[in-house]
Copies of this chain bind each other. A is one copy, B any other.
Amino acid sequence: MRYSTLFPKTLRDSPSEANNISTKLLYQAGFIRESTAGRYYFLPLGLRVHHKIIQLMREEMNRTGAQEMVTPILHPLELWQETNRTNSAGFELMQVKDRRSAKFALGGTAEEMFVDLVRRNPVSYRDMPFNLYQFSPKFRDEMRARGGLLRVREFTMKDAYSFDRTEEDFKVEYLKMWNTYKKIFDRLGLPTVVVESDNGYIGGEYCHEFVVESEVGESRFLMTPDGSYAAHEDVAKFTHEMVNPDDKVEDFKIIDQPKWVQTMEHNEKHYKLPAKRFLKNVVYKTTDGRIIIGTIRGDLEVNPTKLAHAVNAVGGLEPATDEDLAKLGTKSGYVHCWGHKGCTYVGDLSLKTVRNFIGGQKEDLTDSFNVNYGRDFTCEVEADIAMAQPGMLAPNGKDCLVEKRGIEVGNIFQLGYHYSKLMDANFVDEDGTRKLFYMGCYGIGVGRTLATIVEKFNDDKGLIWPREVAPFQVHLVVLPGDPAVKEAANALYKTLLEQDIEVLYDDRDGVSAGVKFADADLIGLPWRFLIGKKTVASESVEIKARTAKETELVKLTDLSAWCAKNI
């Protein structure tokens, strides 16, 4: 590609709204442009990288036996209605009507489309397992789009859907995808942490995000320093240590308490005891109106995601209002650990770590003392509903959890029978009976992966493309002013193309060497080849790696061998 006619040229400035390094550099170097917020053009240089990332993912997916195909972009809305996802997909769904008033969804994911396809074709156990995937545009009607390619409204996603006979078979596929994702990101030069995460209404233990640590990422998670455990704060577990195992269990009693003692801080001040010696209640409401009281040790916070799973609240939880509390016959700060009617008590595992709690049945001028879980009260549901925090003991009981931030580049999770059941998608098993497919789902955002590579590989001069995804391998620069030099560069360009080497050739006349060098650094191809008077005289080319300071003179007669070795 000749740089002289490449559209567009590099720019001195990036748009003021570019709030991270990837957006800034991709914009300046001419890889992307925004159309409207969150919708991007991939320009010639950017699209080449996009294609290379796709091709790399395709190679690795195909190696596993997964089969690439593609669905229409407009999904019949009836399919989304079948699975009740028109309002609960976890993202805002865009809808469109055609001239015959047929309704369609602009797909954000494609479970329904794949399941509908599969159920309309006869499948026997002999045809299984199979994993179907596509690279296709996805739409998310995000309220705010920011961070350039990191959070957009329209993007290319590789989404894969596996169809298995049993949960056991699914586990094999899940592990295969896990390893494939690891390999994909390894090849892209992205070190990933595999983070346990919440599988929403589908639940189950198989749900992981592939996260690249980065300050600009929106994913927060907790992990052990050695990475052996990593989980989103939504689902992170920790080891519960006993608080006062040596204390003797004392008799329950109601004690007087001054009226000013209202909050946990007041408790600590008044009793001169740490928060973990007190009981705490937090009240939530499910979307279908159930009142849930989470009872927990005073130093811990309730994790609404864990609490929702504990009570099977498919639509999630929201904090109870003063009205809700009034219905229970109480008010904020006076919720009891037992005794309220018309609600479900969920007790955290931490209730079993303390002897002789204070609190639990507080009135205006009294509170309860020496409260022991199991003796003085029990909760209908017992579960881990506590929010893990940095510094807590990891599930391995040895390390402390540390907090990390990163960019989620991929995720894998089980769908189980969720979709196959709702859509009645089945196969004929060996015994002749019809059985539902056990499914899994595996996604990677291509544009976000591209931006993450840029976040990781850049310096103050510009982009630094890893070889596997560089738009071109060689940036050929010709020094201006001398026709013989230009002729030599033209000849070299031709030679390199004949050797199938990808070259961006800065053939511009009347542009200074300094500008050309700066552009080459900004665009960030792995190798810069320079042709000038000196190299012509010595029948050589001056080569510099993007990441190196030194240059190297290579004889033209040796260049083919050099390329074979290095490119």
Contacts and interface: CB of A to CB of B under 8 A. Distances in A.
Interface of A: 1-2, 4-9, 33, 35-36, 39-44, 46-48, 50, 65, 67-76, 92, 94-96, 98-100, 102, 106, 113, 116-118, 120-123, 126-130, 132, 137, 139, 141, 143, 153-154, 508, 510
A143 B130 CA distance: 37
B121 A8 contact: yes
Nearest to A75: B35
28 contacts: A4-B126, A5-B65, A5-B127, A5-B128, A6-B130, A7-B123, A7-B127, A7-B130, A8-B127, A9-B121, A33-B121, A35-B71, A35-B72, A35-B113, A36-B72, A36-B74, A36-B102, A39-B74, A46-B69, A47-B68, A74-B139, A74-B153, A95-B96, A98-B141, A99-B141, A99-B143, A100-B143, A137-B137
Nearest to A100: B143
Contacts of A33: 117, 120-121
Given A5-B67, A36-B76, A96-B96, 13 more contacts: A7-B69, A35-B71, A35-B76, A35-B113, A40-B72, A43-B69, A48-B68, A50-B70, A73-B73, A73-B137, A92-B99, A95-B96, A137-B137
A72 B39 contact: yes
Given A7-B67, A92-B99, A98-B141, A73 B41 contact: no
Given A7-B130, A95-B96, A71 B41 contact: yes
A483 to B, nearest CB: 18
A126 B480 CA distance: 15
Contacts of A44: 67-69, 132
Contacts of A139: 74
A141 B98 CA distance: 6
Contact of A106 (B35, B96, B100, B127): B96
Nearest to A124: B9
Contacts of A35: 71-72, 75-76, 113, 116-117
